[in-house]
């Protein structure tokens, strides 16, 4: 881990992710007698669960932070459950649950917007 960087957190947008309909074709194939092993099913179901549980996408800007995955100390625990991803242009993207978004909005109202970005290895 590297030394944390103290930075000002400036929120650009908060939007709710629009999900595509999820169709599981396994029962349809079984009805018609087509059987087999669906090797990627568990990964698809896990990805869908994460998209449904963390539907809010927060886009912000951090100064002095390079591209990578970070934990932002100073944010509420619910808003810091998943890593924040910083792009090459310094724009930060995070995914929040309903509870995380509520805690994040309370934090925005009562804080100066200072966070410590701690790089995550791997």
d(CA 9, CA 113) in angstroms, rounded, equals 5
Token pair, residue 22, equals: 């999820």
pLDDT digits (tens, 9 = 90+) for 10-25: 778 888 888 778 777 7
Give me the half-sphere count of Cα atoms (radius 13 Å) on the Cβ side of residue 87: 8
**10: part of which helix (H) or strand (E)?**
strand 5-16
Mean of pLDDT values over 53-60? 91
CA distances from 71 to 23, 34, 36, 83, 111 (A): 34, 46, 41, 6, 18
**Looking at the predicted structure, is the pLDDT value of residue 49 above 90?**
no
Q: In this predicted model, which residue has the larger pLDDT, 87 or 35?
A: 87
pLDDT at 122: 56
pTM of the full predicted structure? Answer: 0.73
Give me the half-sphere count of Cα atoms (radius 13 Å) on the Cβ side of residue 6: 2
Confidence of residue 83 (pLDDT cuts 50, 70, 90): very high
């Amino acid at each position: 881990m590297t030394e944390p960087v103290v930075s000002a957190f400036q929120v650009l947008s908060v939007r709710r992710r629009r999900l595509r309909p999820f169709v599981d074709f396994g029962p349809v194939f079984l009805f018609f007698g087509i059987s087999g092993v669906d090797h990627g099913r568990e990964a698809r179901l896990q990805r869908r669960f994460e998209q449904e549980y963390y539907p809010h996408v927060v886009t912000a800007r951090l100064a002095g932070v390079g591209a990578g995955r970070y934990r932002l100390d100073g944010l509420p625990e619910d808003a810091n459950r998943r890593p924040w991803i910083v792009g090459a242009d310094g724009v930060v993207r995070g995914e929040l649950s309903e509870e995380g978004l509520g805690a994040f909005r309370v934090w925005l109202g009562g804080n100066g917007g200072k966070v410590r970005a701690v790089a995550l290895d791997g």
